A and B are shown apart, each in its own frame.
Chain A
Amino acid sequence: DGGITQSPKYLFRKEGQNVTLSCEQNLNHDAMYWYRQDPGQGLRLIYYSQIVNDFQKGDIAEGYSVSREKKESFPLTVTSAQKNPTAFYLCASSTKTASYNEQFFGPGTRLTVL
Chain B
Amino acid sequence: AQSVAQPEDQVNVAEGNPLTVKCTYSVSGNPYLFWYVQYPNRGLQFLLKYITGDNLVKGSYGFEAEFNKSQTSFHLKKPSALVSDSALYFCAVRDRASSASKIIFGSGTRLSIRP
Chain A residues close to B by CB (< 8 Å): 1, 4, 6, 31, 33, 35, 40-43, 45, 48, 50, 58, 88, 90, 92, 94, 96, 99-100, 102-108, 110
- The reply to whether B43 and A108 form a contact with Cβ atoms under 8 Å apart is yes
Q: Which residues of B contact A33 (CB under 8 A)?
A: 101
A43 CB contacts on chain B under 8 angstroms: 44, 90, 105
Cβ–Cβ contact A99 & B94, under 8 A = yes
Decide: B41 and A58 in contact? CB cutoff 8 A: no
> Which stretch, B13-21, B45-53, B61-69, B71-79, touches the partner chain A?
B45-53
Q: Are B106 and A42 in contact, CB atoms less than 8 angstroms apart?
A: yes
Given known pairs A94-B101, A102-B34, the reply for A42 and B108 (CB within 8 Å) is yes
Chain A: minimal CB distance from B59 (Å): 11
* Residue of A with least CB distance to B96: A99
